């Protein structure tokens, strides 16, 4: 287990075992951050990607289902009670869920899908053959009992689970919403057409004073209208992103709107809002110390709501409180002063070449690199600070591809990594904590900024807080990013851009990164939409002294 640190502890007023006995949500509800019953997991570690709930969805009877990726469970909450549904331990990185009359359908990052009952029993399971390099999968509803997983290019793979086991969607409005297709008529106008007249109005239009990046129908009803989500951006005076929810009437005319608060987008959450079966639209908020708040959203007449840009104030506070740790990580790698020596000139091609070499490197996992007497495979700082990335568990005396993750890890060349292995250093360590005492010197590998420092050929190790330094990089606009640039979230995580493409829901970026995610455990290739990177607080940077 990796170390987990929590900000506080508050008990829920009531815990009961039956979901059906819980009251529906009508007002604000605080949930404690932690690993106990009724608590929500949130992990914030310096120079590592923050982890927390990945999404939320409507549950039965006006309740909310929270997909907790840290505690590996679904937390179903009502006004005065909560029920937990533990997920199978081998379902890696749960990322999306839907509620059905049989239970909950959950997708993992590698394309595995499991149907679990309210009693945490696995009803059905399937592997879809989804390619994780093509982006985080999301469920697409085709009918009441037919679902697919969709990647960022729009390609869908079927979820092969018997319809009799699946049951029907808890909220039929999710199915009706899938019949709408939005098309950008111009940068500030999107038109949605209904392909099935039986599910409601034929057409709706969404206009904005800002550029529309993404428009999606979340819920629809022939009697009650629809709920639509937009992501919008402005470029001046600085790039900002906005997420707006819009209600329409039964004729498709927008009536009310609300902006998602910046405190809703914490860590790796993909969708922090949901419409419950009682009609209340709620959002998760991470503004209170030690608490996650379920907050009903307040809607105003269209055109009157105050626009609120997505900001990352919580991350700024984290950076300020962890400056010493980040400096210690650099000092452990011999970096004393950022930008003391000017960066040598390199090309974008050489950056990508270095990144691909780390991604495609093949090496043997010998016994001396797999384990060591007297060093438990356990992360329990400060007594035990080494934990092998889980993806390496099955590779004893086998060939491994890609450099493993090691917190605080850096190497200026692949030869250095190979020498570390020859010298008997352990392969990787995803044990992380809030101080540099967790860096195990007997292991080798690259963390996220160590990988970027290697690929950028900086000659020294720079953390995610130092990479934006004016002597290392310069900020660029999202529409100007190029291969070899990075997207950086100061104090948290960084990714190297390999390529950019247009998908059905806007631009997306293929990246190479080193991450503790179970499916990676080191350097791997993944894809993210530009919209989600902006929402999550990543900023594009270009290395100084590039030979164009």
Q: At residue 58, what are phi and psi to the nearest 5 degrees?
A: -70, 140
pLDDT digits (tens, 9 = 90+) for 437-464: 788 999 999 999 999 999 999 999 999 9
* Pair 304, 419 in one domain: no
Tell me: do 222 and 358 sit in the same domain.
no
| Residue 11 falls inside a structural domain | no
Query: What distance in Å separates the CA atoms of residue 172 and residue 247, rounded to the nearest whole number?
Result: 17
Residue 160 domain-assigned (yes or no): yes
Which of 271, 288, 311 terminates a domain? The answer is: 311
Tell me the CATH number at 440: 3.90.1720
Question: Quick one: 377 and 526 in the same domain?
Answer: yes
Domain of 77, CATH number, reads: 2.130.10
**Which of 276, 311, 346 marks a domain boundary?**
311
Matching residue, tokens 């990479």: 467
Dihedral pair phi/psi, residue 351, rounded to 5°: -65, -50
Note whether residue 1 is domain-resident.
no
The model's pLDDT over 380-396, given as tens digits with 9 standing for 90+, comes to 888 899 999 999 999 99
Task: Decide if 118 is inside a domain.
Answer: yes
Question: Quick one: 346 and 307 in the same domain?
Answer: no
Q: Same domain for 350 and 305?
A: no
Residue with token string 């990013």: 481
Please report whether residue 97 resides in a domain. Answer: yes
Q: Is the dihedral of CA 304, 26, 227, 250 positive or negative?
A: negative
Question: Is 424 in the same domain as 529?
Answer: yes
Same domain as 328, residue 280: no
Q: What is the DSSP letter of 320?
A: H
pLDDT at 239: 82
Residue 163 resides in a domain: yes
Both 304 and 340 in one domain: the answer is no
Where b means 16+ CB within 10 Å and e means fewer, 215-233 reads bbbbbbbeeebbbbbbbbb
Assess if residue 14 is contained within a domain. no
Q: Rounded to the nearest 5 degrees, what angle is found at the Cα of 77, between the Cα atoms of 71 and 83?
A: 60
- Give the range of the structural domain holding residue 509, as residue numbers without chain letter: 323-543
Last residue of a domain, one of 264, 290, 311: 311
Q: What is the pLDDT of residue 9?
A: 32
Task: Label each residue of 7-36 as H, E or C.
Answer: CCCCCCCCCCCCHHHCCCCCCCEEEEECCC
Q: Do residues 278 and 359 both lie within one domain? A: no
Rounded-to-integer distance, Cα 541 and Cα 523, Å: 20
For 186, list phi and psi in degrees, rounded to 5: -160, 170
Mark whether 290 and 332 lie in a shared domain. Answer: no
| 548 located within any domain | no
Q: What confidence score (pLDDT) does residue 508 get?
A: 95
Q: Residue 237: left (phi > 0), alpha (psi -120 to 50), or beta?
A: alpha
Domain shared by 305 and 258, yes or no: yes
> What's the number of domains the chain is made of?
2
Tens place of pLDDT per residue across the chain (548 aa): 343 333 333 333 333 334 444 468 888 999 999 999 999 999 988 878 889 999 999 999 999 999 999 999 999 999 878 899 999 999 999 999 999 999 999 999 999 999 999 999 999 999 999 999 999 999 999 888 889 999 999 999 999 999 999 999 999 999 989 888 899 999 999 999 998 766 678 999 999 999 998 899 999 998 999 999 999 999 877 788 999 999 999 999 999 999 999 999 888 899 999 999 999 999 999 999 999 999 999 999 999 999 999 854 333 333 334 555 656 666 666 665 555 557 999 999 999 999 999 999 999 999 999 999 999 999 988 889 999 999 999 999 999 999 999 999 999 999 999 999 999 999 999 998 877 678 899 999 999 999 999 999 999 999 999 999 999 999 999 999 999 999 999 989 999 999 999 988 789 999 999 999 999 999 999 999 998 999 888 999 999 999 87
Contacts of 329 (CB under 8 A, 6+ apart): 46, 47, 408, 436, 439, 461, 463
pLDDT of res. 45 = 81
Q: Are residues 339 and 249 in the same domain?
A: no
Which pLDDT does position 201 carry in this prediction? 87
């Amino acid at each position: 287990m990796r170390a987990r640190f929590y900000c506080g502890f508050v008990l829920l007023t009531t815990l009961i075992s039956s979901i059906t006995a819980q009251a529906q949500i009508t007002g604000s509800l605080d949930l404690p951050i932690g690993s106990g019953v009724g608590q929500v997991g949130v992990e914030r570690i310096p120079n590592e990607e923050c982890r927390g709930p990945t999404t939320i969805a409507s549950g039965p009877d006006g309740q909310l289902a929270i997909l907790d990726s840290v505690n590996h469970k679904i937390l179903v909450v009502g006004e005065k009670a909560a029920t937990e549904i533990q997920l199978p331990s081998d379902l890696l990185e749960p990322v999306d869920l839907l509620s059905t009359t049989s239970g909950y359908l959950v997708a993992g990052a590698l394309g595995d899908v499991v149907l679990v009952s309210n009693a945490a029993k696995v009803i059905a399971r399937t592997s879809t053959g989804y390619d994780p390099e093509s982006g985080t999968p999301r469920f697409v509803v085709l009918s009441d009992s037919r679902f697919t997983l969709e990647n960022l290019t729009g390609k869908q793979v079927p979820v092969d689970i018997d319809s009799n086991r699946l049951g029907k969607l808890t909220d039929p409005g999710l199915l009706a919403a899938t019949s709408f297709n939005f098309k950008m008529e111009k940068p500030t106008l999107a038109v949605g057409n209904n392909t099935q007249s039986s599910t409601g109005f034929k057409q709706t239009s969404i206009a904005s004073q800002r550029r529309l990046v993404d428009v999606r129908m979340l819920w629809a009803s022939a009697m009650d209208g629809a709920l639509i989500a937009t992501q919008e951006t402005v470029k001046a005076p600085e790039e900002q992103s906005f997420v707006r929810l819009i209600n329409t009437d039964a004729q498709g005319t927008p009536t009310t709107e609300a902006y998602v608060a910046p405190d809703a987008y914490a860590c790796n959450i993909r969708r922090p809002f949901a419409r419950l079966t009682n009609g209340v639209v709620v959002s998760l908020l991470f503004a209170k110390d030690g608490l996650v708040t379920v907050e009903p959203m307040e809607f105003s007449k269209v055109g009157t709501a105050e626009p609120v840009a997505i900001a990352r104030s919580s991350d700024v506070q984290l950076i300020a409180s962890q400056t010493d740790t980040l400096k210690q990580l650099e000092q452990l790698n011999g970096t004393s002063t950022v930008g003391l020596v000017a960066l040598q000139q390199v090309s974008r091609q050489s950056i990508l070449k270095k990144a691909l070499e780390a991604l495609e490197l093949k090496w043997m996992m010998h016994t001396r690199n797999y384990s060591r007497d007297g060093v438990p495979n356990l992360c329990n700082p400060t007594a035990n600070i080494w934990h092998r990335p889980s993806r390496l568990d099955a590779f004893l005396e086998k060939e491994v591809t890609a450099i493993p993750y090691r917190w605080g890890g850096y190497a200026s060349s692949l030869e250095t990594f190979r020498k570390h292995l020859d010298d008997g250093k352990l392969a990787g360590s995803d044990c992380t904590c809030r101080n540099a005492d967790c860096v195990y010197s007997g292991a080798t590998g690259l963390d996220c900024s160590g990988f970027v420092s290697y690929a950028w050929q900086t000659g020294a190790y720079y953390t995610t807080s130092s990479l934006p330094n004016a002597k290392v990089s310069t900020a660029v606009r999202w529409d100007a990013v190029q291969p070899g640039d990075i997207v950086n979230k100061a104090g948290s995580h960084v990714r190297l851009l390999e390529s950019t493409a247009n998908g059905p829901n806007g631009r997306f970026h293929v990246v190479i990164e080193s991450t503790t995610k179970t499916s990676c455990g080191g350097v791997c290739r993944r894809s993210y939409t530009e919209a989600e990177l902006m929402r999550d607080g990543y900023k594009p940077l270009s290395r100084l002294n590039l030979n164009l």
